[in-house]
Amino acid sequence: MSSPLNEVKSLAGRHALVTGGGRGIGAACARALLLRGASVTLAGRDGARLEQAALELHALLADEPALAESCRVAIRTMDVGDEASVREGFAAAAERLGRIDVLVNNAGQAHAAPFLKTSGEDWRRMLEVNLGGVFHCTQAALPAMLESGWGRIVNIASTAGLTGYRYVSAYTAAKHGVVGLTRALALEVAAKGVTVNAVCPGFTETDIVKDAVANIMLKTGRSEEQARAELAAGNPQQRLIQSEEVAHAVAWLCLPESGAMNGQALAVAGGEVM
């Protein structure tokens, strides 16, 4: 089955590594990058989930002979919050599929609680995964990009990184940190062929939103439909964002033609943040 995306092969010969690549936004990003000609490494902690996602990508390649000739898919189990795990995982990924040209820092977690009920452990975990993971993975991938004179780094932040949200103070602080890191690093590498950008989705149909819906239902007694409507209410389009919509924005930022995009934080949120 052909796809309109197959008309664009601008990433042919490139190797993209996507963290949190086993599901949701990460899996959608991997698919979008593969359809644009890149070989893809799916990284994450859940090996079984990564294997399933890889099978789906292999099935996609089976339907696209032109891509199957040049694109490869691999998985790599790692914990982005653990520097040693990241270093080892990135080295193994590069050894298998070549230098990492594109890095999508997607892995993340969310925890909801009033500020005074947010424990120190919760705070550290949110920063370790959502911000520390971006730091560790970028440090592992960037040297080779600078050496080659070309690279694309896209950090999946959140509209929470552009504004404030109630009851997710640690998550919001971490995502603000991701946006700040994006802007600072973008300036450092601006003249070196590497771009660094952030994509900031609104509430998106992912496991994190499923957990948020369950939490709202538990604490308020609302139905699933009412809980989902509450999350969608902040979007002027009155809907949840789809993972594929986020992936299209990510893939565009990774194209050679998008080289002038640097240090940006793009909101994919139906106009929620302007």
Tell me how crowded residue 1 is: count the other CB atoms within 10 A of its CB: 6
Question: What are the phi and psi torsion angles at 154 (to 5°)?
Answer: -125, 120
H/E stretch holding 105 reads strand 102-105
Q: Which residue has the tokens 């793009």?
A: 266
**Residue 73 CA from chain centroid, whole number:** 17
Which is the catalytic residue, given 171, 175, 199, 269? 171
Query: Given its phi and psi angles, is residue 24 left (phi above 0), alpha (psi -120 to 50 degrees) or beta?
Result: left
Task: Tell me, yes or no, if 171 is annotated catalytic.
Answer: yes
- The one-letter amino acid at 2: S
Q: What is the full DSSP assignment across 202-235?
A: -SBSSHHHHHHHHHHHHHH---HHHHHHHHHTTS
Kindly report the CA angle at 146 between 140 and 150, in degrees rounded to 5? Answer: 110
Catalytic residues, which ones? 171
